[in-house]
Amino acid sequence: MSRPKGFSREGVLRKAIGVFWKKGYADTSLQDIERATGVNKSGLYAEFRGKDDLFTEGLKFYLEQADTDALLSAQPLGLDNVERFLSLGLRCAYGSPGCLLVNSLREVAVLPPAVETLIRENRRKLRSALARNLEAALPSCDAKELADQVLTFFSGLTIEQNLATDERETRRKIASFMRLLRGQQGAAVDS
C-alpha cells in the first residue's frame, strides 16, 4: 500500500512559482524547491517528472490564476478592459515583481520547449483578445498592430517592476499610455 502524499499539488506549485520568480528558471535548483515547499526530491519526482515539468505546470497554474481571458472578454469590450489588463502588472498575487510569464521571456534560450510553446500560445491569445477590445473601441485602427504595441508596453512595464518601481509612477505611465489610446478614439470620431 502506497503512502498518501503529505502535500497539495497546488501548494507546491504556489511555493515553487515564488522561487522561480525570484531566482529565474536557470538559477533555481531542486534543492531550492525542496527548501521552499518542504517536499523532498522523491515527492517532487512522484508528482512532477522534474524541474522542467514543475516549471511548466507552475506557469500553467499561474496563467490560470491570472485569468486574463475573463478580464479581456468582459462586456462591453473596449479600452477599459485594456487598462485593467495593463494594471495586472501592478497586482501580483505572489508578492513578486512584474509578470512571471514576461520575466520568463528573458530566459527563453534555456527554457523547456513546452514552456516556450506555452509562452508563445499565451501571447497569441492575449494579442487576439486585446485586438478584439481595440477593434471595439477604435474600429478604424489596425487592431492587431496596436495590440502588439500594448503587449510590448505591458512587457516593458512588468519588467520594470523588478526595479521595485513606485506604484504611483507605474500608474502614471499606464494612465499616460491610455490617454494616447483614448486620443486615438477621439481622432477616429473626428474623422
How many domains does the chain contain in total? 2
Same domain, residue pair 20 and 94: no
Rounded to two decimals, what is the model's pTM? 0.86
40's grid cell: 523532498
Per-position pLDDT tens, the chain of length 191: 455 567 899 999 999 999 998 899 999 999 999 999 999 999 999 999 999 999 999 999 999 888 888 999 999 999 999 999 998 876 654 456 678 888 898 899 999 999 999 999 999 999 999 999 999 999 999 999 999 999 999 999 888 877 766 788 889 999 999 999 999 876 655 55
Contact 37, 44 (CB under 8 A): yes
Same domain, residue pair 130 and 96: yes
Same domain, residue pair 135 and 164: yes
Q: How many CA atoms lie within 13 A of 99 on its CB side?
A: 26
Same domain, residue pair 52 and 116: no
50 located within any domain: yes
Angle at 80 between CA 169 and CA 92, to 5 degrees: 50
Whole-angstrom distance, CA of residue 165 vs CA of residue 97: 9
Whole-angstrom distance, CA of residue 191 vs CA of residue 181: 16
In CATH, what number is assigned to the domain containing residue 49? 1.10.10.60
Cis peptide bond N-terminal to 76, omega within 30: yes
Contact 44, 33 (CB under 8 A): yes
Same domain, residue pair 167 and 73: yes
Same domain, residue pair 180 and 109: yes
